[in-house]
Structure 1
Amino acid sequence: MNHNIVGILIISHEPLGASFLDCIEHILGEQPRMLINHPILPTVDPDAEILKLQTALKQLDQGNGVLILTDLFGATPANIARRLIQHGQVECLAGLNLPMLLRALHYRHKPLPELVDKVLTGGRDSIIHISRT
């Protein structure tokens, strides 16, 4: 049986990804393995970042692929992430929220397509209108 997990790469506006990692460490009590945050600065050269991120993808892929999580669809981090997609091996979801990240960490032993579905569902289902009564 393959015990490898799906690697997770956060590509987001600085300092959002670091804040997510701080929250994860607070909740889980440790920093999970095979999780990399790559902050994007306002002055970034997208082509140079692609080269750096290709190296990060190689570090994260143990054979089960990599899930890229990014913050805002259409913004620079998501546009960079889009260029890294390799269907079936490197997938990307935008709209990152904390429940999505927790779900990704919890289910990353699943095959990448199933993980993508679990993370999407968790992200959508975590948006709740809270009423007083």
Structure 2
Amino acid sequence: MIGILIISHEQFGASLIDCVIHILGERPPLLLNHIVSPAADPDTEAIKLQAVLKQLDQGDGVLILTDILGATPANIACRLIQDGRVECLAGLNLPMLLRAVQHRHIPLPQLINKVLTGGRESILHISQETGNAN
């Protein structure tokens, strides 16, 4: 099973995990959140997270999900990437996290594609007239 680490601003990641628990009825295993405060030093945070990665990696790797590319959480995540072992996706939304949790028994490269597709396909414009999404 692939471990999942959310690295995000303040309570964003914790809120998404709460939503996943609400939807699925339980907290998925090997899913952790790391809160990044405004004063966080990326190098120090990355060192702290090395132990978390070891805890999450049960042999299949770790997927890091972060909120905004270029922001401190993503900068921390970039320091943790190990090609093929620890991968990272930015732009986290709830559909991405749900896909990651529900499909993390597939190989990491396939999981990345599934999560990216889920994130993109969940962004829709809903018409007021019809209530349909396009």
Please indicate, yes or no, whether the TM-score normalized by the shorter chain is above 0.5. yes
- Would you say 1:127 and 2:110 are equivalent positions? no
Query: What residue ranges of structure 2 are gaps of 5+ in the alignment?
Result: none
Separation in 1, partners of 2:18, 2:102? 17
- TM-score normalized by the length of structure 2: 0.94
**Paired residues, number:** 129
Map of 1:41 onto structure 2: 37
What is the deviation of 1:68?
0.2
Separation in 2, partners of 1:47, 1:80? 7
Report SS of the residue matched to 2:88. strand
Map of 1:30 onto structure 2: 26
RMSD: 0.6
Which residue, 8, 12, 16 being the options, matches 2:12?
16
Separation in 2, partners of 1:51, 1:75? 18
Which residue, 102, 112, 123 being the options, matches 2:108?
112
Which residue, 2, 7, 17 being the options, matches 2:3?
7
Q: Which runs of 4+ in 1 moved over 4 A?
A: none
- Would you say 1:87 and 2:83 are equivalent positions? yes
Identity of aligned residues (%): 71
Separation in 2, partners of 1:122, 1:45? 31
- TM-score normalized by the length of structure 1: 0.95
What is the deviation of 1:102?
0.1
